Structure 1
Amino acid sequence: MNIRGFSSNMYGWFERWKSDGKEPVWDDLYRACAEAGLDAVETDATPEKLALARTFGLTVSASYIGLSLHGEYADLEAEVLPYAERLAAAGGTDLLVNADPYGGWKHPLPKPEELVQRQGDNLSRLADKLSPFGLQLSLHNHAADRHNAEADLRSVVHFADKAVGLCVDTGWAHVAGCDPVAWVRSYPERIKAFHLRNQRGRVPAEDVTEGDIDMRVLLEAAAHANYGGWIALELWHPPETNPARTMTEDVQRSIAFLREIVGNL
């Protein structure tokens, strides 16, 4: 199994810094990512952030944007294109978009099927717009309930052009009552990115080595799907996780664990 390398979403780092009573400034965060053994980070590739990341030997693998994908397409294009231009100029490969819930994050409602279809149409149009930049557009699952998680999945596999991929977030899929391994096995041609986090029920595990999700089985499924993209972590330590180690240590442990699995595939 040949992958591009190991990357990380930055949200968990940012939140962990705050919970540890530290000011989350980008140079400290990127330095810690490099010390943890990451090859890249997912970030908006502004000139300032790109220069800082490169200072510590990191590349930018992807940018991540939350969008009201079931809304008006013109609004989406206006928001996405600046991110895409910066990411392409930085040599990144993946633009990951997150579907805002219908009804808002505080009170999400079941997404109606006509909006699921509109979301798929909008994703197709965005993927076409990003093609000249050489970027892969993928939908990242973030819904915490089964109806909306499956609706967002359906917006891609039933309603979107084949150019639109899936970024499988294992943690959120599990929380929603879905099986991320089944998604990889069912839609191998759509799997273009991963956010890996393990879970103990609805509580995020400290690292990916233990929990309800069998990462070995997941990566075996990815190998069968001929996956060759980035393996990105999304470790997150809310208070109920009660972490015993630093984020740097947990990322190091996770990378070592995943590297061994990948090396044996």
Structure 2
Amino acid sequence: METAIQLWTLRELREPLSDVLDRIAAAGYDGVEFAGIGDPDASRRALDETGLGIAGVHIQLEELQSDPRTVRNQVRTLDAPSVVLPHLDDDHFASESAIQSTATLLTKLDEDFDQPLLYHNHDHEFVPLGEGTAFDALVDQTTIGFEFDAGWAHAAGQDPVALIRRLDGRVPVVHLKDMTEDGEPTALGDGVVPLQAVVDAAREAGTEWLVFEHDNPVEPVDAIQAGIDGMRPLLE
């Protein structure tokens, strides 16, 4: 598996993208994951200059639906391997009929783009539904891939290891995120998520990118090095 950092972690850094990517490359990551497209030409040049790969790009639903042709061209320019839908509101998971509509929506979006569509979970997808959860139903009713966020799944009271195993072959990207017992993001190794077991399960499930993300780091610059330092021993 290759290592990356989700740039949402560094959103408070007031530096040019090229400088941010220099920091990430110097820390030893293999790549990055974009939170929004921005200027795809400039981003592509910056990636080429640093030698970093790209794990994917997060694009909001409104943008995916309003101008798919432009998004397709921008994603091609970035040469991103996947388009990631980072969030859907609670009402998309509120009932069996809502799940059916959500599954139809995601399947249609997947057909609209050259690269695979991945859905990134938070914790609200794991509301009880039928004999399982809304997330279970979504997995059953789609064939799309997932960018599985282990931290948010754990915060929802789920077993991230079992879920990654269930997504075998459908989970090319895993967000490695640690959480406190209260369900708040924290530094890798400081929380309660079984990180080693998550990484081992991801490897067995065919995951290609392990992406570090911290939603609210105290010092974003320090988080860059802390993230890769936390990931390296898990991959040995």
TM above 0.5: yes
The equivalent residue for 1:106 is none
> For the residues of structure 1 that align with 2:68 and 2:161, how far apart are their CA atoms?
29
Distance between the aligned counterparts of 1:205 and 1:59, measured in 2? 26
- Counterpart of 1:229 in structure 2 is 208
Letter in 2 for 1:205: T
**Matched-pair contact (CA < 8 Å) for 1:36–1:248:** no
Query: In structure 2, what is the equivalent of residue 194 of structure 1?
Result: 174
In the aligned structure 1, how far is the partner of 2:68 from the partner of 2:120? 15
What is the root-mean-square deviation of aligned Cα atoms in Å? 2.7
The alpha carbon displacement at 1:261 in A equals 2.8
Structure 1 residues 237, 64: closer, same or farther in 2, change over 3 A?
A: same
Aligned match of 2:31: 40
Change (3 A) 1:209 1:32: same
For the structure 1 residues 42 and 83, does the alpha-carbon distance in structure 2 shift closer, same or farther, using more than 3 Å as the test?
Answer: farther
What is the 5 A alignment of 1:202-213?
202-206=183-187, 208-213=188-193
Deviation at 1:24, TM superposition (A): 4.6
Map 1:134-153 → 2, pairs under 5 A: 135-144=115-124, 146-147=126-127, 150-153=133-136
**Alpha-carbon distance in 1 for matches of 2:75, 2:162:** 31
Alignment of 1:113-124 (within 5 A): 113-124=96-107
Query: For residue 129 of structure 1, what is the aligned residue in structure 2?
Result: 112
Q: How does 1:59-138 map to 2 (within 5 A)?
A: 59-67=53-61, 76-102=64-90, 111-130=94-113, 133=114, 135-138=115-118
Structure 1 unaligned residues grouped into runs of 5+: 18-22, 69-74, 104-108
Secondary structure of the 2:117 match is strand
Measured in 1, the distance between the counterparts of 2:210 and 2:109 equals: 24
Instruction: Check whether the contact 2:33–2:54 (CA below 8 A) recurs between aligned residues.
Output: yes
Deviating beyond 4 angstroms after TM superposition, the runs of 4 or more aligned structure 1 residues are none
2:194 is matched with 214
2:235 corresponds to 1:262: yes
| Other-structure match for 2:44 | 50
| CA distance 1:250–1:127, shift in 2 (3 Å) | same
Matches within 5 A, 1:164-175: 164-175=144-155
Identity %: 22
TM-score (ref. length: structure 1)? 0.75
SS of residue matched to 2:21:
helix
The question of 1:180 aligning with 2:168 is answered no
- For residues 101 and 231 of structure 2, the distance between their equivalents in structure 1, rounded to whole angstroms, comes to 37
Q: Tell me the number of residue pairs that the alignment of Structure 1 and Structure 2 aligns.
A: 229
Offset of residue 200 of structure 1: 0.8
